[in-house]
Chain A
Amino acid sequence: MITVDLDHSSVRDLNERLHRLPPETNEKAWRIVNPKGAHALCAGLSVPIEVVIDGHPGYYCAGMNKEASIVVNGHCGVGLAENMMSGEVRVKGNASDAAGATGRGGLLVIEGDAGLRCGISMKGIDIVVGGSVGHMSAFMAQGGSLVVCGDAGSSLGDSIYEARLYIQGKVESLGADCVEKKMTPHHLAKLERLLARAGIEADPRRFKRYGSARRLYNFHVDHADAY
């Protein structure tokens, strides 16, 4: 394992080094220490390597991640794994606002809680949160799944498109066009697989599923009060 100490190396040097790795690299295991809130840490990785970050990164950790597997032994700032393409990002602690924003693929696991707008505008990513999520999570969520083992804040799934939301705890309120939907065997199986992939123990049968009522997909005057 290659260890990079950010007390003695800059984020720029580290990211550039990681970006230059060829897909067939033998340098597959990395450990980053002393992140101390550094922003854009491991942003833009695009090869299948494994990175462990010991400490707390700042904004946009693992941004646009592609293929890499990143584990954070700490808490993360805003925009964790934003626009993630593939691979896996796991945070042992909590994540701040907009975790997994616009993510297109891969698996994001937050073992603790996530802040506001978790999964905002998500486009295919799967997000599993061990704890709770804040206000406006899955706002305008287009695709993928958001699994929340705890509670969800107000306006969950506001203006949601085709994303699937699975919430075990209380939902403070649903946003415009977001409704509770029937948990079919198909959805139950999918949720079970997601929880298993995330390594989080929970009973899928205790979750409720939410999604789009699809009433706002085309403008209509009689729905004006929903906007």
Chain B
Amino acid sequence: MTVDPRIQRYSAAFSPQVIHEIHRAADQGLYEIRGFGAKRHLPSFDDLVFLGASVSRYPLEGYREKCATDVVLGTRFAKKPIHLKIPITIAGMSFGALGANAKEAIGRAATLMGTSTTTGDGGMTEEERQSSKTLVYQVLPSRYGMNPDDLRRADAIEVVVGQGAKPGGGGMLLGQKITERVAKMRTLPVGIDQRSASRHPDWTGPDDLTIKIQEIREITDWEKPIYVKVGATRTRYDVALAVKAGADVVVVDGMQGGTAATQDVFIEHVGIPTLPAVRLAVEALQELDMHRKVQLIVSGGIRSGADVAKALALGADAVAIGSATMVALGCNKPVYIEDYHALGVEPGSCHHCHTGRCPVGVTTQDPELQKRLKPEQGARWLRNYLTVMTLEMQTVARACGKSHVHNLEPEDLVALTVEAAAMAKVPLAGTDWIPGTR
């Protein structure tokens, strides 16, 4: 009997992918661990559009009138705030998760663009300090590689409470990526599955965090801006508490944010999207009269200049990009196809950062694979990409009549869906209706 494909009725609840996952779980007895970010559809900046100028507003000339993009971070307490040329920063990605060439390429590109890059859960490498003019040093629960000299060599310090891909969870780096150098930096045996703590070892709760920040400021003689990074969940409270704890900058990472490795259930089912998170964070800052005094960096699924412009219009001071940075370096590029196939994926759907077998040499510690990413080439790609994002952002801002990208405002936006209107608190397009306001 022949099988007629037209009458194959698949269950919506038990789709082929769900069935495959159940079979995999039954076979392996372990939850799926993977890299990259959420793959499910989520309300996002795609659901917002700008209201360009017309009769009631007039635009700036695209090629003649200036549209500035600079941003200063850390103006609240730090003696030495950092001044960036563009409001697009590079998110924390560890040496370990990324190879040394990728870290170097990122540092070079960020420096050329006048922006900052960020260490990650593995300490600071000499390569990234040398290649990054402005380097943000993360203080994570694991404290791998933590030392006072690197704190003082950093340009800013980010206390990581959580990240969007796994709010409430610790980092994870599987054994195949724990090479001798990575192990030494993290004081761990080679080849073990590294499980970072989900909580900081020496503080619990916002009152302790206040004192922890005070200690870091004392060690660095109050010079460095101190960021507090949270995964987006109870964003209003978390931002308010970070401000109360003394942060100069708050970083809010939505659930589209990527990771080098964590449980799929975490990536897809914990946290809230970036879209509502940015609005909640801004409201918290405004309630405390700290909007623009404590700067807000938003991350999680930022891919284009349009995304940056929308985040800024909703009230962010800057954004951070992680996954998009990796993609610019070649992640999921259709080259070395046979190596993607060896991982069981096609280019475009790869999330095998956790395996260390990255076909394009970005998320690997394998010396041969790393050779596929040359730092100079990677830096050029990322620089190009950041330039395009900046041009796109300026294009949108000029169209809205803004001489600085920070002059974008919620009034420049409308939503295409009821969900996005409710989450971002901007009107549904063609109406003056913001769900939940009346």
> Measuring CB to CB, which residues of chain A are less than 8 angstroms from any residue of chain B?
11-12, 15-16, 19, 39-40, 43-44, 46, 58-60, 63-64, 66, 78-79, 82-83, 85, 97-98, 101-102, 104, 117, 120-121, 123-124, 139-140, 142-143, 159, 161-162, 217-219, 221-222, 224
A104 to B187, CA, bound (A): 9
The verdict on B134 contacting chain A, using a C-beta distance below 8 Å, is no
- The answer to whether A218 and B215 have CB atoms under 8 Å apart is no
Query: In the complex the two chains form, is A101's CB within 8 Å of B202's CB?
Result: yes
Tell me the complex Cα distance, A97–B204, Å: 11
Name A63's closest neighbour in chain B (CB-CB): B215
What are 26 A-B residue pairs whose CB atoms fall within 8 Å in the complex?
A12-B222, A15-B218, A39-B211, A40-B215, A46-B149, A58-B211, A60-B211, A60-B212, A60-B215, A66-B148, A79-B212, A82-B202, A83-B143, A98-B201, A102-B143, A102-B146, A104-B187, A121-B197, A142-B188, A161-B192, A217-B175, A217-B189, A218-B175, A218-B192, A219-B193, A221-B29
- In whole angstroms, what is the CA distance A142 to B186 when docked? 9
> Which residues of B line the A interface, CB within 8 A?
28-30, 142-143, 146-149, 151, 174-175, 186-189, 191-193, 195, 197, 201-203, 208, 211-212, 214-215, 218-222
Q: A64-B147, A102-B146 are in contact. Are A79 and B219 (CB under 8 A)?
A: no
- Select from chain A the residue with minimum beta-carbon distance to B196: A140
The answer to whether A221 touches B28, judged by C-beta atoms less than 8 angstroms apart, is: yes
Q: Which of A59, A66, A104 contacts B211 (CB 8 A)?
A: A59
Complex partner residue of A40 from B30, B142, B147, B211, CB under 8 angstroms: B211
Contact residue among B188, B193, B197, B215 (Cβ-Cβ distance under 8 Å from A59): B215
Determine how close the nearest CB of chain A comes to the CB of B137; give it in whole angstroms: 13
Task: Choose one: B28, B189, B219; the contact of A63 (CB below 8 Å).
Answer: B219
Which B residues touch A161, using CB under 8 A? 188-189, 192
The distance from the CB of A162 to the nearest CB of chain B, in whole angstroms, is 6
Chain A hits for B219, CB < 8 A: 40, 43-44, 63-64
List, in ascending order, chain A residues with CB within 8 A of B142's CB.
Answer: 121
Main secondary structure of the interface of A (DSSP, over half): loop
Q: How far is the CB of B337 from chain A (nearest CB, A)?
A: 30
Task: Kindly list chain A residues whose C-beta atoms are within 8 Å of the C-beta of B222.
Answer: 12
Are B214 and A39 closer than 8 Å at their CB atoms?
Answer: yes
Residue in A closest to B217 when the chains form the complex, CB atoms: A40
Q: CA–CA, A217 to B183, complex, Å?
A: 13
Residues of B contacting A120 with CB < 8 Å? Answer: 201-202
CB nearest neighbor in A for B29? A221
What CA separation (Å) do A15 and B191 show in the bound complex? Answer: 41
Partner of A78 from the list B192, B195, B203, B214 (CB cut-off 8 Å) is B203
C-alpha spacing A46/B149, complex, angstroms: 9
Which residues of B lie under 8 Å from residue A66 when comparing CB positions?
A: 148
Tell me the complex Cα distance, A222–B30, Å.
10
Are the C-beta atoms of B29 and A224 separated by less than 8 Å? yes
Closest A-B pairs by Cβ, 3 of them = A221-B29, A44-B219, A79-B202
Instruction: Report B354 CB to chain A, min CB distance, Å.
Output: 11
A85 to B150, CA, bound (A): 12
